[in-house]
Structure 1
Amino acid sequence: MSRADKVSDATGLEKLILTLRYHEQSRQWFAVIFVLLVSLLGSYEPMLFIVGGAIAVFGELIRMWASGYVMKNKELATTGPYAYVRHPLYVGNILLLIGFSIASTQWWSFVLMIALLAFYYPPTISYEDNKLRDIFGDEWIEWSKNINALIPTFGSKAGSVKSSWSFKKSLMQNAEPVIVVYLIGCLYLLYTS
């Protein structure tokens, strides 16, 4: 059963929840709002800001690295960060949320973050894996045997598609430079709170 089938078969509140859960833009907007919320409501504590900020920056670096290899649904990315993990953009997102939660010093941010991650990521990862398997077939199956979804796998296990990092891909596919500016602004909000 596809995502669309699950949503179309549901009614009422269940349909609303499934629509949010399977809608890519809602996942992205909730993350954007989460970061802004913890930045506005957080309080500055130097050590936690440094630790959380460093984790958030590391998460964004992973996102920048990954987004420069992706050609969504056209080419299976198996090198760069994709040689270590199937969903490096999601790994970067998770680190960003953890970093902002730490930097904000707000205990409730961890509860909200865990709820968002549990709500969105399991069905998203399952959907992405199924979609990529359908598009790329044996190539995806062979590559994914050696590469975990979110926990890095180390060693020489990259797939057969060798591509190089490109700023243009990073900009065009995921607008990463825009996200970087937004995150810097949110860190500044936290720093001045």
Structure 2
Amino acid sequence: MRGGYANFIVHNRKGTLLISTAHIKPKHWGSEPAAFQPSAIHQWLARRRITISLVGFTTLVLFNVFVMQTIPRNPLAITSLGSLAGSGLLWIGLAVRSWSAGTLNKSRELTMVGPYSLVRNPLYVGSFMMMMGFCILCRDWPTMLFVAGPMSYLYWKQVRFEEDKLSRMFPLQWDDYIQSTPRFVPVRLNRAVLGGWSLFEWQRNREHQAVVASLLGVLGIWAWFVLRTST
């Protein structure tokens, strides 16, 4: 038998025949290759993406500071195109993240308003902009390559994992949503973009941590710039 359904006949006390159906699993099935190995890899990467990102990011930044001894851009300068580009990407990315975090209802409903009416993954878009902004301010090209390469791959795996999960959680809405909303790059505006933001959701999703971290990061870059240019 290759596996399938088999019928069993059972007698109850009254003599009535009860017919039940059971699924039979052949013994050789246990020796087949694991069907969910890709998903297991995706889950492993998803669980550890923050750790992998922090280790890689920190290592490259320390290399840039102590080995390359790079002089960063002044994040407060308004006459430098490089500083304006880096700061602009950083603060716009943070604004996109805050907008997204204040609109997102995690696992309770499929969020399709606010930034989620423009792209399906606005939090990752904002995060990517912030990381590139920091790299420009730090003149850190090795880390920029790390962000554009390995980190982009990790977050791409995370996006695929999350979208697969959402498609199973919200099957009635998902197909229409992905047909009308791109993953990362918006193609059109709509009325839904104006709704859905809540300070309560912003706080519940702990987005204030990103704001504090960004302010400390900019302060650190400024102190680094002052230290390197005053010696």
Q: Name the TM-score, length of structure 1 as normaliser.
A: 0.79
Q: 2:91 aligns with which of 36, 57, 64?
A: 57
1:164 — aligned with what?
Answer: 196
Give the superposition deviation at 1:44.
Answer: 2.6
Runs of 4+ in 1 over 4 A off after TM superposition: 1-5, 29-33
1:93 to 2:93 alignment = no
Report how far residue 5 of structure 1 moved: 4.9
Conservation of the 8 A alpha-carbon contact between 1:21 and 1:27: yes
Within 5 Å, give how 1:41-190 maps onto structure 2: 41=65, 43-46=71-74, 47=80, 48-156=82-190, 164-173=196-205, 175-190=206-221
Give the CA deviation at 1:167: 1.4
User: 1:5-42: per-residue Cα shift (whole Å, max 9, x none)?
Assistant: 534xxxxxxxxxx665231xx32345556379649836
2:60–2:142 CA contact under 8 A, matched in 1: no
What is the RMSD of the two structures over their aligned residues, measured on CA atoms?
A: 2.8
Amino acid at match of 2:113: T
Greater C-alpha Rg? 2
In structure 1, the residue matched to 2:11 is: none
Tell whether the 8 Å contact from 1:52 to 1:103 is kept in structure 2 after alignment: yes
Q: Following the alignment from structure 2 to structure 1, what is the Cα–Cα distance between the partners of residues 37 and 186?
A: 27
> Which residue of the partner structure matches residue 22 of structure 1?
46
Aligned sequence identity (%) = 22
Aligned length in residues: 178
Name the CA shift for 1:141/1:128 in 2 (closer, same or farther; >3 Å).
same
Gaps in structure 2 of 5+ consecutive residues: 1-34, 75-79, 225-231
- Structure 1 residues 32 and 184 mapped into 2: Cα distance closer, same or farther (>3 Å)? farther
Structure 1 runs not aligned, ≥5 long: 8-17
Q: Per residue, is there more strand in 1 or in 2?
A: 2
Structure (1 or 2) with the greater helix fraction: 1
**Structure 2 CA distance for aligned equivalents of residues 2 and 170 of structure 1:** 35
1:3/1:168 Cα in 2 relative to 1: closer, same or farther (>3 Å)? farther
